Amino acid sequence: MDIKLSGIHHSYGEREVLRNINLDIASGQIVCIVGPSGCGKSTLLRLIGGLERPSLGDILQVGDVPEGCLNPLTYVFQDFALLPWRSVAGNISLVLEDHGISRVESQDIINNVLERCKLSDFADVFPKQISGGMKQRVAIARALAVNPAVMLMDEPLSALDSQTRELLMDDIVSLWTRKPFTAVYVTHNLAEAVRLGHRIVVLSRRPGEIREVVTIDKPLSERRHADPDLEQQQNTLWQMMRDEAMAADAELINA
């Protein structure tokens, strides 16, 4: 299943946040969206997943939802959004409960995603007892449990320290290599974008417009930390964004 955005405009009252966004998200690819703070990249993600309605324009699902998919558009949130009163396994079972899946079957799914995210030993602990990195692994496992057609990742690593971030990036790469998934990955971190993105969409500052779409051909599995090619790409991106970021930084909030 692909996603097609055509002519998206969005504003909150008088305040225009997104302008004329046209974008195709092809299945099996990770599309990263980068841009200066406040450029509307998270808003764009909420629009894609139907948590908000665009003021103008269409967001289309192209093609059939793949078989066995319980929730085609599935988010991974920056703040993890785990229920603190449910265990790790309970948080994953939450999203399976409304689909009439048998107990045995849902237990199978839970075990499978926990194993894929290296969480098998943590099934019965509560979110409060585990580190931020582990929490985000749980959130990713929960997203994988519903077998999504498109994963919508909203700065998933931004609440983590840089070492945990490296580890999780490796995990995301290995998850993708084992079984490619489609994802829209919003981030302000260019290093994440060049490590994980097949395509990188650069937004301008508010109102966000697509400035450039950069394609990185190097396969995900061959990208390494401090890879000179990637550093090069990252630098180009930064040159492109630097002035915008400075202007965005100097802007008054709510002005």
Interacting residue ranges for another protein, rule: CB under 8 A: 49, 51, 70-71, 73-75, 77, 79, 81, 83-86, 94-95, 97-98, 126, 128, 146
What is the side-by-side order of every strand in the sheet holding 30-34?
73-76, 150-154, 182-186, 30-34, 199-203, 210-215
Q: Which is nearer to another protein, 148 or 208 (CB)?
A: 148
Q: Which is nearer to another protein, 71 or 187 (CB)?
A: 71
Question: Could you tell me if 18 and 9 are in contact, meaning their C-beta atoms sit under 8 angstroms apart?
Answer: yes
Q: How far apart are CA 127 and CA 109, in angstroms?
A: 20
Q: Which is nearer to another protein, 16 or 79 (CB)?
A: 79
Residue 34 has which token pair? Answer: 């980068």
Q: How far apart are CA 211 and CA 83, in angstroms?
A: 38
CB 192 to another protein: min, Å: 21
CB 81 to another protein: min, Å: 4
Q: Which is nearer to another protein, 127 or 133 (CB)?
A: 127
CB 91 to another protein: min, Å: 10
Q: How far apart are CA 22 and CA 209, in angstroms?
A: 9
CB 71 to another protein: min, Å: 5
CB 146 to another protein: min, Å: 7
* Alpha-carbon distances of 237 from 35, 73, 203, rounded to whole Å: 10, 28, 11
Q: Which is nearer to another protein, 49 or 197 (CB)?
A: 49
Among residues 37, 44, 35, the alpha carbon closest in space to that of 241 is found at 35
